[in-house]
């Protein structure tokens, strides 16, 4: 590992010691503000918690326009079922494995911690020539781009934006999908648990999960949908009544695990076991090339006397809702080859009080199609007698293939590495569109090192790509002095 890469990773290691799940960014914000003060930089924090650190230009670049280096402070906090990690207080335990950096049974937080580290490393390296820099670090990106939405006029001055939240070195991102969240709420009716009924817990587990935008086209299994199908298979062989139901943990992560507790009559236990076994074999065959660890576990469960039992109607409606709501790719783009245009992630299912809640996350690069898939979810909810609410929207970032920044970036990359970079639009949410809508004349691009499986405990960072991105960014900044 070269010295430059080591310097960036040392900053990332510091960041990884600080808990920073979405909506819990106060500590990382304090750390950055202290670092800025120690270096003599001007730091400012707004009411939302967003931070801008102003870094003076190096000699000869004083009259150049400011360049904004931007990332987000929060991370998606996911862990494996056997991990005892507490994201509110424990540091991320980093694991170096050859050319890869990962974490011990949790998300790594390279999305977007490595972007923060790159920005800070560039700003604090006295050997890198650059115009005035504004390090813009936003809060709560992962749950709805909240910080970017709350940015105020005048908070930044630069009109050249380098977003550091991409996940493929050598790929320049110039556009992204818009999105919004929809919560479906089904009121429930309960009955006492009948005597002599057996309780069972059915768990769908071992799925790969992943980012609900960049991984949605990979056809990975969604544990919530697999559980729904398993319950559907079970109710065709046995009369079941649900006691509890939950799955998924983040709107922007494909659910890896889900479970349901239910009862059925003792004379139906054999039929129940057979139904689950047959379905497990069928679904494992479906996903044989993608989900090698997928499994269904059926186990007897004790019954809490205070636990309420769904009525038959509520049991059937809950299962039907999970079956009917869309998940995965909804439309491919007619204009961009092999590009997902519209999708939905059936993200979280849970019982809260006297209602069954389902959270889904819709994405599309065409805003009318985003409205269309959201309308479908509303219609399905209405047919089920459920309430529905949509919010957390953000706009698509439309690509500008004639961008002066894109032209400069391509030239610098070609000069440095002797090959053309790829230019893409992604099916994920980036803050560039929101920031551009708030600051007129913004020219933006998104870059970053290679990260695989973000938003899952399999997240990992390709270490050699860090040096390439750092070299590219340093040369790009230098080019503004020509």
400 part of the active site? no
Catalytic residue from among 140, 141, 280, 424: 141
- 3-state class of 253 per DSSP? strand
CATH top class, domain 3-177+396-479:
alpha beta
Catalytic residue from among 25, 74, 257, 291: 74
- The whole-angstrom separation of Cα 79 and Cα 103 is 10
pLDDT digits (tens, 9 = 90+) for 21-55: 999 999 999 999 999 999 999 999 999 999 999 99
126 part of the active site? no
Q: What is the CATH number of domain 180-391?
A: 3.30.70.360
pLDDT digits (tens, 9 = 90+) for 404-427: 999 999 999 999 999 999 999 999
Question: What are the φ and ψ backbone dihedral angles of 384, each rounded to 5 degrees?
Answer: -85, -5
Least confident of 260-269, 300-309, 355-364, 437-446: 300-309
Q: Are 233 and 241 in contact (CB under 8 A)?
A: no
More confident: 407 or 145: 407
Instruction: Quote the DSSP letter at residue 395.
Output: -
pLDDT digits (tens, 9 = 90+) for 299-347: 998 876 667 899 999 999 999 999 999 999 999 998 888 899 999 999 9
Q: Where are the domains of the chain?
A: 3-177+396-479, 180-391
Instruction: Quote the DSSP letter at residue 392.
Output: E
Dig out the tokens for 222 from the structure.
């969604």
For 82, counting Cβ atoms within 10 Å of its Cβ (0-12 exposed, 13-18 middle, 19+ buried), the class is: exposed
- The whole-angstrom separation of Cα 482 and Cα 474 is 14
- Going by C-beta distance under 8 Å and a sequence separation of 6 or more, which residues neighbour residue 185? 355, 356, 357, 386, 387, 388, 389
């Amino acid at each position: 590992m070269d010295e430059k890469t080591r310097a960036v990773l040392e900053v990332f290691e510091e960041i990884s010691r600080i808990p920073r799940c979405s909506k819990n960014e106060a500590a990382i914000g304090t750390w950055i503000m202290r670092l800025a003060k120690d270096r003599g930089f001007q730091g400012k924090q707004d009411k939302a918690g967003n931070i801008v650190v102003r870094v003076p230009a190096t000699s000869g670049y004083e009259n150049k326009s400011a360049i904004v280096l931007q990332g987000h402070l929060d991370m998606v906090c996911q862990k494996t079922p056997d991990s005892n990690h507490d994201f509110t207080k424990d540091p991320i335990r980093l694991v170096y494995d050859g050319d890869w950096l990962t974490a011990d049974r949790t998300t790594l937080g390279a999305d977007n911690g490595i972007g923060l580290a790159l920005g800070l490393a560039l700003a604090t390296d006295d050997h890198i020539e650059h115009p005035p820099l504004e390090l813009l670090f936003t809060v709560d990106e992962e749950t709805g781009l909240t910080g970017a939405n709350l940015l105020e006029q005048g908070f930044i001055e630069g009109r050249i934006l380098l977003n550091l939240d991409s996940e493929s070195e050598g790929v320049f991102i110039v556009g992204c999908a818009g999105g919004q969240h929809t919560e479906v709420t089904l009121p429930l009716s309960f009955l006492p648990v009948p005597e002599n009924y057996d309780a069972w817990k059915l768990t769908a587990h071992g799925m790969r999960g992943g980012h609900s935008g960049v991984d949605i086209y990979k056809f990975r299994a969604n544990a919530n949908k697999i559980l729904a199908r398993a319950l559907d298979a079970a109710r065709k062989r046995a009369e079941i009544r649900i006691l509890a139901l939950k799955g998924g943990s983040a709107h922007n992560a494909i659910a890896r695990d889900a479970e349901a507790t239910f009862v059925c009559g003792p004379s139906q236990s054999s039929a129940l076991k057979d139904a689950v076994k047959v379905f497990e074999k069928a679904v494992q065959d479906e996903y044989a090339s993608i989900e090698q660890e997928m499994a269904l576990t059926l186990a007897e469960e004790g019954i809490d006397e205070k636990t309420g039992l769904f009525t038959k109607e509520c049991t059937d409606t809950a299962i039907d809702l999970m079956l009917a709501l869309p998940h995965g790719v909804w439309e491919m783009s007619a204009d961009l080859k092999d590009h997902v245009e519209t999708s939905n992630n059936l993200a979280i299912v849970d019982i809260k009080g006297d209602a069954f809640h389902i959270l889904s996350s819709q994405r599309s690069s065409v805003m009318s199609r985003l409205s269309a898939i959201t309308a479908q979810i509303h219609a399905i909810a209405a047919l089920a007698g459920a309430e529905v609410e949509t919010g957390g929207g953000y706009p698509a970032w439309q690509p500008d293939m004639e961008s002066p920044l894109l032209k400069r970036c391509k030239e610098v990359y070609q000069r440095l590495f002797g090959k053309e970079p790829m230019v893409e639009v992604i099916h994920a949410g980036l803050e560039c569109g929101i920031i551009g809508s708030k600051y007129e004349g913004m020219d933006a691009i998104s870059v970053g090192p290679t990260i695989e499986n973000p938003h899952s405990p399999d997240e990992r960072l390709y270490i050699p790509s860090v040096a390439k991105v750092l070299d590219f960014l340093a040369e790009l900044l230098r080019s503004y002095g020509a």
